[in-house]
Amino acid sequence: MPAGGRASRNCGNCRSIKRRCDQKFPHCGQCIRAREECQGYRDEWELVFHDQTTHTIKRSKEAWAKADGLETLKRSPPSRPLSLSSDEVGVNYFLFHFVVGGLSPSRGYLNYVPAVFSADGENPTLMASMAAVGLAALANSTQQPELSQRARTKYWEAIDKVNAALSSSVESIKDSTLMSVISLGLFEHVSNFETWFQYVKGTVALVVSRGKSQFSSPASIPMFNQVRADMCAACVHRLEPFPRDMLELQEEANKQADNSSCFWLLGVLATRTVNLLSDVTVVTIKDGATLAHFVEESAVLQRDFQAVLSNFRTQEPYTTIEDYSGDPDLVYNSRYDLYRSAWAIRLWNNSRILQVIVCEIEFHLLSKALTAGLPPARRKQIATTLEATCQTLKTLGDDILATVPQSLGAVLSSTEPPTSADLSSDPSANASASGGHLLMWCLYTVGKSPVTRGRTRKWIMKRLRDIGQKSGLPIALQFVNDIDEIDKAASMLESADN
């Protein structure tokens, strides 16, 4: 702590007249009672990095931004067991790659972590969790078995602390405990899908146990978004409906959330998409009425997506670059896109994944309709709609693949001139710790798409294999196997047709 003490998290009005602030979100209760216009709260990032609850925060912004510590570790692997300072290294690495956003001037896709830090930054459970994930990511990127062993030891220490926190009626409802669990979920990506899925279910159970009162803190909505997104991904992969108790919490969170936020609205659409996919999968379509119902549902979802994205295009625009000299292993079809932040890439790709799922539902339904005995005019109409759906799927896939260079760190951001992009080096060497997590599900979605062809699938499998091997994410390698099976089946079908 600096000599000045912890920075105040009170709203602007309460700070100015030095009154006690209840720090309610989104507006202070004192201001509401006094009929004052609440000036809101300070930027959580400013509070965290001014507060300096540990030296790791400062180092993540300064030392790690220069990458001195990382380069030292790369050049000189430890020859003896790491000291306690390795925990600090792990937290630095976590903050640098998953929160600050790496060398990019933008903030990372876990940019809500500072809100938890400002409230409970010295929480030992949270620190242990971030240290475990940071050390694991660093060990994978630098290929250091000794560091990996230290990460595993730290992981079990963090698990013990989480279990102790969950057994406490006071600690279990803290945002820092939930953030610890979310952080350790990143560690579970080094296992396999089934292990990760069970972990996500456990995280959902924790969110549900926190109840409806949890949404009073600034960090609660972003953390709920994260858990909801993970659960949606798990449900899609297993073709299961979204949990009812999470839907009830979503309704409560909707009262506190920013309803103009594209991220929030996309999350709501995600739950609808998951349930539509589950319904289409389990229902046997025997009549035209049921088929028409599902087609209409998917069409409504697509319209709702476009309504949200019309605002998002203004809020988070991106630039398309045509580069015919770039490494074809990194730049697919000589195109890459530049975004303002990792957060923007995540939102855009999340929306694309969801639209791909809806389009695949339409593809399935329309293909089934063409097998029915329909009048020629109706068949032509359905065939035209199916062709448009396939084109949309291809466009969405191309847009996702165009995010690969920036996600893997070959391009820093749209604020940098295109000439600064290093697109000729080994993409796996450029992969940031968070880049693999950002891309893994995206590449898998495109790889299994019914309109993706063999050349594209092979390119995607190579990228996933790099992520799995260099970032230590076996789920990525599992995805490679799944796509390879699809590729083999498609090749056999093409051979049979010829």
- Token pair listed for 91: 């937290």
Contacts for 325-330: CB closer than 8 Å, 24+ residues apart: 325/423, 326/405, 326/421, 326/423, 326/424, 327/423, 327/424, 327/425, 327/427, 329/427, 329/459, 329/462, 330/404, 330/405, 330/408, 330/410, 330/423, 330/427, 330/430
CA 173 to chain CA mean position, Å: 23
CA distances from 119 to 23, 188, 217, 397, 440 (A): 11, 26, 9, 40, 32
Residues 6+ apart with CB under 8 A from 178: 203, 206, 207, 210, 223, 227
pLDDT for 385 equals 92
Contact between 89 and 147 under an 8 Å Cβ cutoff? The reply is no
Count CA atoms within 13 Å of residue 485 on its CB side. Answer: 6
pTM value is: 0.74
Of the two residues 467 and 24, the one the predictor is more confident about is: 467
151 pLDDT exceeds 90?
no
**d(C-alpha 113, C-alpha 96), whole Å:** 12
pLDDT for 394 equals 96
Please report which confidence band the pLDDT of residue 76 belongs to, taking 50, 70 and 90 as the band edges.
very low
Cis peptide preceding 26, ω within 30 of 0: yes
How confident is the model over 385-441, as pLDDT tens digits? 999 999 999 999 999 999 999 888 777 655 544 434 444 444 444 445 567 777 888
For the chain, give every domain's residue range.
8-42, 86-242
83 pLDDT exceeds 70?
no
460 pLDDT exceeds 60?
yes
How confident is the model over 342-381, as pLDDT tens digits? 778 888 999 999 999 999 999 999 998 888 777 888 889 9
Least confident of 2-11, 65-74, 153-162: 65-74
Measured in Å, how far apart are the chain's first and last C-alpha atoms?
Answer: 72
Contact between 158 and 184 under an 8 Å Cβ cutoff? The reply is yes
pLDDT for 286 equals 64
Please report which confidence band the pLDDT of residue 46 belongs to, taking 50, 70 and 90 as the band edges.
very low
pLDDT for 121 equals 58
- Token pair listed for 399: 């847009």
* β-bridge partners, 321: 336
**d(C-alpha 6, C-alpha 386), whole Å:** 60
Hey, what amino acid is at 283?
Answer: V
How confident is the model over 129-148, as pLDDT tens digits? 888 888 887 887 777 778 88
**d(C-alpha 189, C-alpha 152), whole Å:** 13
Is the four-CA dihedral 263, 138, 141, 67 of positive or negative sign?
positive
Residue % of the chain over a pLDDT of 90:
29
H-type alpha helices, 211-341: 220-238, 244-256, 262-282, 288-315
**What is the enclosing helix (H) or strand (E) of 424?**
none
Contact between 221 and 264 under an 8 Å Cβ cutoff? The reply is yes
Cβ burial 358-373 (10 Å sphere, 16+ → b, else e): bbbbbbbbbeebeeee
Least confident of 25-34, 176-185, 240-249, 431-440: 431-440
Q: Coil, helix or strand for 167?
A: coil
**d(C-alpha 173, C-alpha 220), whole Å:** 11
pLDDT for 66 equals 44
Contact between 350 and 441 under an 8 Å Cβ cutoff? The reply is no
pLDDT for 56 equals 42
Please report which confidence band the pLDDT of residue 100 belongs to, taking 50, 70 and 90 as the band edges.
low
**What is the enclosing helix (H) or strand (E) of 127?**
helix 124-142
Residues 6+ apart with CB under 8 A from 319: 337, 338, 414
How confident is the model over 288-327, as pLDDT tens digits? 678 888 889 999 999 999 998 888 888 889 999 998 887 8
Residue % of the chain over a pLDDT of 70:
77
Q: What is the mean pLDDT of residues 174-189?
A: 84
pLDDT for 205 equals 93
pLDDT for 414 equals 52
Q: What is the DSSP string of 452-470?
A: --HHHHHHHHHHHHHHHHH
Architecture per CATH, 8-42: Irregular (4.10)
